[in-house]
DNA sequence: GGACGTTATGTTCCTGCGGATATAACGGCA
DNA sequence: TGCCGTTATATCCGCAGGAACATAACGTCC
């Protein structure tokens, strides 16, 4: 579900507040944390180090002003992490946006794909002329 | 118009063919080339080196199988570049997708922005339990 | 013919980012 | 009372990617 990112036709990155940026990577990470119940397990599943996973979540927390993940040390299994209500809400919102954006874009992508398939159709070799709108600056 | 990229709420990156990836950076570059009539002038305007601008355009050409920009050396003003019909079409399609995606996403972004504004509303401190779905792997 | 500005590459240097590693704290559990 | 796996940091290292620089070719204009 995270590797499918390679096959998405449209990748979406949204800027919510001033510093709160959310893209496919952090969305997948939130999802993995919610499913695995652990930051380190989520990192392993996504092929990233715990340190990086933690840093990404920390960036989210800074950006949103409060934590999207609530973690605990010690205890059964050593500890764990789960999404806060805010975290779950943010993840769900991102997934909805992703679906909507992909739908909104599908037609144009299809057009582009068709253009890409065309075998070039010789274009007039004429061109040039030095009208450099605003030369140096 | 290129600096406004910082203020976009939704950044869109589309994958058209196998290797043809198009995001805000290359879209702005295509636009600048079309307006300036020169790769180097476009690079200057976007604050990137000519080498980088050329490399990005080359990536596009490889990805789409044929050039989106037609350039010429020598002549009045030293040479120049203009968008091919394909290049203009691709740029226009990307701008349309960007607008549509942003519209499709606007409502959810507004919801998220509202969540971000909320002053936290104390959340139940209860959590934990060690159900590590798929532990190591 | 020389100057000029651009295209078109290659090469070298530098820096930021990610990965790996180390360490400490934590708290159920055997 | 150790043990264990996790959270939470800090530090160091390697490398990819960008910037800067160098060079050559090109064609029009003076």
pLDDT in tens, A86-98: 999 999 999 999 9
Instruction: Give just the sign of the alpha carbon dihedral B74, B80, B82, B84.
Output: positive
Asked whether residue A132, judged by its CB, lies under 7 Å from any atom of the DNA or RNA strand C, the reply is: yes
**DSSP H or E run through A50:** helix A50-64
This prediction has a pTM of 0.83
What nucleotides of chain C have any atom within 7 angstroms of a protein Cβ?
4-11, 18-22, 25-29
C-beta of residue A135 within 8 angstroms of C-beta of residue B41: yes
The residue lying closest to nucleotide C21, measuring its CA against C1', is: A51
The Cα B41–Cα B80 span in angstroms is 9
CB < 8 Å to B11, chain A: 12-15
Which pLDDT score, from 0 to 100, does residue B17 have? 77
**DSSP H or E run through A73:** strand A69-73
**Which domains can be identified in chain A, with CATH numbers?**
2-106 (1.10.10.10)
B112 CB contacts (<8 Å, ≥6 apart)?
A: A14, A16, A90, A93
Give the pLDDT mean for A64-71: 94
Identify the band that residue B30 occupies on the pLDDT scale cut at 50, 70 and 90: very high
Which has more confidence, A119 or B70?
Answer: B70
Give the pLDDT mean for A113-124: 65
A30: nearest Cα among A49, A7, A57, A4: A57
Which pLDDT score, from 0 to 100, does residue B122 have? 47
Instruction: Give just the sign of the alpha carbon dihedral A14, B101, A1, B110.
Output: positive
> Distance (Å) from the C-alpha of residue B54 to the closest C-alpha of chain A?
18
The Cα A73–Cα A59 span in angstroms is 20
Asked if residue B57 has pLDDT above 90, the reply is: yes
Give the pLDDT mean for B108-137: 56
């Amino acid at each position: 579900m995270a590797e499918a990112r390679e096959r998405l036709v449209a990748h979406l990155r949204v800027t919510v507040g001033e510093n709160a940026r959310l893209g496919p990577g952090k969305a997948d990470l939130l999802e993995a944390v919610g499913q695995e119940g652990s930051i380190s397990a989520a990192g392993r599943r996504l092929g990233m180090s715990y340190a990086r996973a933690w840093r990404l979540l920390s960036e989210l927390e800074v950006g949103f002003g409060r934590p999207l993940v609530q973690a605990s040390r010690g205890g059964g299994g050593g500890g764990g992490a789960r999404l806060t209500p805010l975290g779950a809400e943010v993840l769900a919102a991102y997934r909805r946006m992703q679906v909507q954006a992909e739908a909104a874009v599908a037609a144009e992508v299809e057009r582009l794909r068709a253009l890409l398939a065309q075998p070039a159709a010789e274009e007039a070799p004429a061109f040039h002329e030095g009208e450099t709108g605003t030369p140096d600056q």
